[in-house]
A and B are shown apart, each in its own frame.
Chain A
């Protein structure tokens, strides 16, 4: 199936400037697998989104379509063909 990951401006430098990253993944792949595919292509992104335990950073939100992933299973959130995954900085900052 095909999903598209949308990156915030702050993280595009770690993705060769890409704002939108289309990915082909196996049917049934959960959000964690999509992030694995994303960070296999752009390794520098992984530590920004997940810590070394593989957990989402506290102030990084990842939306699957309209749902923040923590409300639909977290990193195990199911995806469907054509899903949009949006990575967004949460309410925190400098």
Chain B
């Protein structure tokens, strides 16, 4: 079986391929446009369509703006739709800053894009064109959503998922900074906040109905959700009902950006601690990953194979992923340009690439 790892960095798009998830052939930065004005831009979002194998990259030129590029040959060649694939309608008086997230629906061709400013777009043609999800844009809470330090964006999009045991093509969970978690049960016509139990240390009401800065939500195989918040780590089987339970006990800090759920074991998840909102460095200046196998009841270091010397690069919110394979591999990249994989049942890491530009996002799949 061959595997593809797509790596978005602050300076372009890279890929890594192999046959056994051990020896990686890294290539890039890939040439997105003939003039290379976008090839050196930041790539905040990548996605691999499970139906078609198409790879999407949300890239941008500092001069000429953001766009979406696609590859139908696993990253060898890249193309841009003839018309701007994601564009705000004229009446919104908004313009796209960047795409932060791609997610794929059960129907072939259905792609969702979470973007900055806070909005969700939907494509039914595999990402060639997108339409604004109006009900979320028109939500009365939107005036209260404001940008965190990274920008105001919807950066988690989980189609079909509401919580444990409840999966529906009309359901979706999204998360945003700031704003928090919102869910729809009717195909996007109505959206309700689902943040009960999640803190907002930057607001007078520390547990508001909405307004939290939820950095990332990851869904396990049965829909159980794990969230890394702007201070606070949470788990929920029913966000809209029972709410969220704090599960940071056992982690060195409650701050971070990334969270990855095991695609086969609902009680297993990976977390990537960061010191605090003021100090975006790894705790103790050591590159560390933590793992729970009991649904957040306890965490243990998961660091075999990682550097033991001082390390200063953290993992950003989309800088970690799983390939979703039967025996899943896990991957993460750091702001200091190192990419690691754990593919031996999850017990140890090996380096995929080093000295890349700072890693913003990774996505992996069997090909």
Residues of A within 8 A of B (CB): 9-13, 43-44, 47-49, 51-53, 55, 57, 59-60, 89-90, 92-94
Contact = CB atoms under 8 A, between A and B. Distances in A.
B192 interface: no
Contacts, number: 64
Contact of A10 (B11, B37, B41, B87): B37
Task: Point out which of B63, B65, B96 has the most chain A C-beta atoms below 10 A from its C-beta.
Answer: B63
A70 to B, nearest CB: 15
Contacts of A52: 84, 87-88, 90, 94-96
Interface of B: 11, 33-37, 39-41, 61-65, 67, 82-84, 87-88, 90, 93-96
B35 A9 contact: yes
A60 B37 CA distance: 13
A51 B65 contact: yes
Contact of B34 (A13, A47, A48, A92): A13
A52 B119 CA distance: 15
B11 A94 contact: yes
Contact of B63 (A9, A13, A44, A89): A89
B35 A10 contact: yes
B134 to A, nearest CB: 16
A73 B192 CA distance: 44
Contact of A59 (B34, B63, B90): B63
| Most chain B CB within a 10 A radius of its CB, from A13, A51, A90, A94 | A94
A12 B35 CA distance: 9
A37 to B, nearest CB: 19
29 contacts: A10-B35, A10-B37, A11-B35, A12-B35, A13-B33, A43-B82, A43-B83, A47-B64, A47-B65, A47-B67, A47-B87, A48-B61, A48-B63, A48-B64, A49-B64, A51-B95, A51-B96, A52-B84, A52-B88, A53-B88, A57-B64, A57-B65, A60-B63, A89-B63, A92-B63, A93-B62, A94-B11, A94-B40, A94-B41
